[in-house]
Amino acid sequence: MRVKQAEFITGATRWEELPVDGLPEVAFVGRSNVGKSSLLNELTNKSGLARTSGTPGKTQQFNYFLINRELYFVDLPGYGYAKVSREQREYWGRFIGQFLTERVPLRLVIHLIDSRHPPQSKDEDIMEAMRGNPVPYVIAHTKIDKLSGNKRVKSLRTLEKALRQRAMDVPIVQTSAETGEGKKELLQWVGMLAS
């Protein structure tokens, strides 16, 4: 698919605030600072659309962006960031868990995992939430521009192993918001599964 138009619609902090128009939704989920907002900007060709930051914990809402007037990209708050208050973390943890399992218009979950590290326990929580979940699930292995040759292959193998241990067969796309690597492939998944 090609993104011709992208605009911010709303930021929700409670379930009651989520849109009720029923348009298909693509969720960007992952640990704080993994690059969710940056990847969303890259996919929409709009560098300032979603706010990004070097400081984790930037996104504190479910931010809805309407794409081509036909579906939403939803930029989720990062989970697992220690410096956000414990209540706040638990709140988002529950909200995200409920969203992944109960949100009716959800058509695709893009789980971002930092390619420089093996999956962390919070990543494994998301994998578990998606195991047996009928909603299509794709992993974006982010910041791949920071790895070269051998390290790229190694990190991919580590992730594949974590999935195999759960008997999960999940497409993995290596992405970079810096170089645009993986953009086309990820948008193909969106086009195929969500629109």
Ligand X SMILES: Nc1nc2c(ncn2[C@@H]2O[C@H](COP(=O)(O)OP(=O)(O)OP(=O)(O)O)[C@@H](O)[C@H]2O)c(=O)[nH]1
Task: Give the interface with ligand X as residue ranges (CB under 6 A).
Answer: 30, 32-38, 52-54, 56-59, 77-78, 142-143, 145-146, 176-178
Question: Of the candidates 33, 44, 59, 175, which one interacts with Mg ion according to CB under 5 A?
Answer: 59
Helix H or strand E segment including 62: strand 62-67
Tell me the closest approach of the beta carbon of residue 80 to Mg ion, in angstroms: 13
Q: Is 142 in the site for Mg ion (CB under 5 A)?
A: no
Alpha carbons 45 and 6: distance in angstroms, whole number: 9
For the CA atoms of 162, 164, 166, 171, what is the dihedral angle to 10 degrees?
90
Q: Cα–Cα distances in Å, from 60 out to 2, 18, 36?
A: 28, 14, 12
Residue 182 contact partner, candidates Mg ion, ligand X, none, CB within 5 to 8 A by sort of partner? none
Residues 27-56 that bind Mg ion (CB under 5 A): 36-37
Alpha carbons 144 and 132: distance in angstroms, whole number: 28
Radius of gyration over every alpha carbon of the chain, rounded to an integer in angstroms: 15
Residue 80 contact partner, candidates ligand X, Mg ion, none, CB within 5 to 8 A by sort of partner? none
Tell me the closest approach of the beta carbon of residue 35 to Mg ion, in angstroms: 8
- Site of interaction with Mg ion (CB under 5 A): 36-37, 58-59
